[in-house]
Amino acid sequence: MRVPILKQGHYLIASIQSALTDADLLQLRDDLAEMAGKYRSRGIIVDVTALDVMDSFAVRTLRAIAHILRMRGARTVIVGIQPDVAFAMVQMGLTLGDTQTALDLEEGLDLLERGRDPRE
């Protein structure tokens, strides 16, 4: 299933609705890269609230999305990682590197608005 991407001002919001195949993930990556250029977006939010599993491929792709979009001049925030998913990820040693994360969509937008991560 293709992930719907919404445009909201200067930001793009990709809201994942169900479990994704590897092909879906790659499609999402390409779509985001494409749309970020088209709409000259400054920030991207990927909402993973609906995911209750994140494998290494998903994590790697999310990281790749963040890197690609940074080169296109946009910041990426991953929002909505569930507690169980977060715990499983650190146990498997999967990290998002320096990709920013936020609790939910609202927080993610707030983070982009303020333009600065307090962690930095």
Where along the sequence are the contacts to another protein (CB under 8 A)?
78-79, 81-87, 89-91, 95-96, 101-104, 107-108, 111, 118-119
DSSP for residue 112: H
Extract the tokens encoding 75.
């910041």
Contacts with 15 (C-beta within 8 Å, 6 or more apart), sequence order: 3, 4, 6, 47, 105
Say how far apart CA 59 and CA 61 lie, in whole Å.
5
Cβ atoms of 85 and 52 closer than 8 Å: yes
Q: CB of residue 11 vs another protein: minimum separation in angstroms? A: 17
Q: CB of residue 80 vs another protein: minimum separation in angstroms? A: 9
Q: CB of residue 36 vs another protein: minimum separation in angstroms? A: 22
Q: CB of residue 5 vs another protein: minimum separation in angstroms? A: 21
Phi, psi of 91 (to 5 degrees): -70, -35
- In this structure, the dihedral spanned by the alpha carbons of residues 100, 105, 109 and 115, taken in order and rounded to 10 degrees, is -10
